[in-house]
């Protein structure tokens, strides 16, 4: 059976603080996803053009890089760019927000 006990002000502050932290974490991760996706698109284009051109023009690449190898090269670079940029963005956003909280608490 659940008792109707009023929450103390400390518990309400903790819940509000937890809600703010959760919202901030969602915002940080969303910014990371957007930045990572942009970086992946740029990396895909920047990798696809020379990979496809070299597979058509260079004799060694024509002999050794089939369509699967070309796709693997391009997707590996795109995936790496996504995760590197997303991670850096999330960390930078979290660092910026933590410094903002410290200055807000001091004031």
What pLDDT, in 10s, does the model give residues 5-59? 555 555 666 777 788 888 888 888 999 999 999 999 999 999 999 999 999 999 9
- Whether 92 has a pLDDT exceeding 70, the answer reads yes
Classify residue 60 as exposed, middle or buried by CB count within 10 Å of its CB (0-12, 13-18, 19+): exposed
Q: Is residue 55 within 8 Å of residue 14, measured between CB atoms?
A: no
Question: To the nearest whole number, what is the mean pLDDT of the chain?
Answer: 85
Taken as a whole, the chain contains a residue count of 107
Radius of gyration of the chain (CA): 24
DSSP label at residue 107 = -
- Whether 4 has a pLDDT exceeding 80, the answer reads no
For a pLDDT cut of 70, what percent of the chain falls above it? 80
Q: Record the pTM.
A: 0.73
What pLDDT, in 10s, does the model give residues 46-82? 999 999 999 999 999 999 999 999 999 999 999 999 9
* pLDDT of res. 20: 83
CA-based nearest residue to 35, from 73, 76, 104, 87? 87
């Amino acid at each position: 059976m659940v008792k109707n006990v009023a929450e103390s002000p400390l518990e309400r502050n903790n819940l509000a603080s937890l809600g703010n932290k959760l919202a901030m974490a969602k915002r940080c991760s969303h910014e990371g996803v957007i930045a990572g996706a942009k970086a992946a698109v740029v990396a895909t284009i920047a990798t696809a053009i020379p990979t496809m051109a070299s597979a058509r023009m260079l004799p060694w690449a024509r002999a050794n890089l089939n369509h699967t190898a070309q796709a693997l090269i391009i997707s590996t670079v795109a995936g790496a760019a996504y995760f590197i940029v997303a991670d850096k963005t999330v960390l930078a956003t979290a660092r910026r927000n933590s410094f903002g909280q410290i200055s807000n608490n001091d004031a």
